[in-house]
Amino acid sequence: MEQAEVVVAWFPEATTCAAGNEVSFATGTSEEHEALGLTAAGSWVLRRWRDGVAGETLSPLTAARAREWLLRCEHFEAVAEHFPAALRAEHPLRLVRLYEPRTPEDGHRLLVDRLWPRGISRADGRIDSWLPEAGPSAALRAWYGHRQEAFLEFSRLYQEELSSAEWAKPLATIAELRNAGSLTLVTATRDLEHSAARVLHSWLRKAESLT
């Protein structure tokens, strides 16, 4: 690889690698080091050098190997930024009722109902955060009234709201949580299949499939 190729971003190895120092797993000694880089052309390269020795090497890496390196060295934020599709495939977006017990697969549990559920403490351990702005508008929610026969029309109208500028900010918040790791949408609605949370979940899954 040409040494003159411009590297625009480096991700040095994590301090958790190799017994807590800054030595990568690949090199395995206290004198050898490596760091992952992304070139201006969008190619991944691995930079290797040795303490006390002049010079370094740059070796090309496939995207798959670069992602493996980032995961091995626990650079999860970089994985989320550069390989979001792979991360989402490994951790599908989930949807559960509030009253279902937490599982290891849940990750962050996000309540997406417009109204806080009755009888539930704000410190309830089954809810990590609340995003009421993601739910349907008050007018649409009142019109629907959980009537199953109106669900298809409700779903269409709610998806129109989700596509509008007013919902851009809460959807951006969901995207940030999604990129950070496993995410589970939570609702207190009894009828999960005919709920606003189901519409939101399906809309988000469809949006992810298009990226």
Residues 91 and 77 placed together within one structural domain of the fold:
no
| Residue that wins the pLDDT comparison between 81 and 5 | 81
Q: Is the pLDDT of residue 22 over 90?
A: no
Task: Give the H or E element holding residue 177.
Answer: helix 168-180
Q: What's at 168, amino acid-wise? A: A
Measure the CA–CA gap between 158 and 51, rounded to whole angstroms. Answer: 59
> What is the side-by-side strand order in the sheet with 44-50?
7-12, 32-39, 44-50, 56-61
Q: How many domains does the chain have?
A: 2
Classify burial at 87, counting beta carbons within 10 Å of its beta carbon; exposed 0-12, middle 13-18, buried 19 or more: buried
Region 139-157 average pLDDT: 96
Among the ranges given (5-19, 41-55, 123-137, 172-186), the one the predictor scored with the smallest mean pLDDT: 5-19
- The residue segments making up the domain with residue 181 are 87-209
Question: Using N-to-C axis directions, what is the helix angle for 151-162 and 196-209, rounded to 10°?
Answer: 50
Identity of the highest mean pLDDT range in 4-18, 37-51, 53-67, 91-105: 91-105
Q: Is the pLDDT of residue 168 over 50?
A: yes
The answer to the question of residue 70 being in a domain is yes
Measure the CA–CA gap between 49 and 100, rounded to whole angstroms. Answer: 51
pTM given for the model: 0.63
Residues 167 and 203 placed together within one structural domain of the fold:
yes
Pairing type for strands 183-187 and 108-111 reads parallel
Give the residue from 42, 62, 82 where a domain finishes: 82
pLDDT at 71: 72
pLDDT-derived band of residue 19, with 50, 70 and 90 as boundaries?
very low
CA angle 124, 103, 126 (to 5 degrees): 10
The answer to the question of residue 2 being in a domain is no
Residues 162 and 111 placed together within one structural domain of the fold:
yes
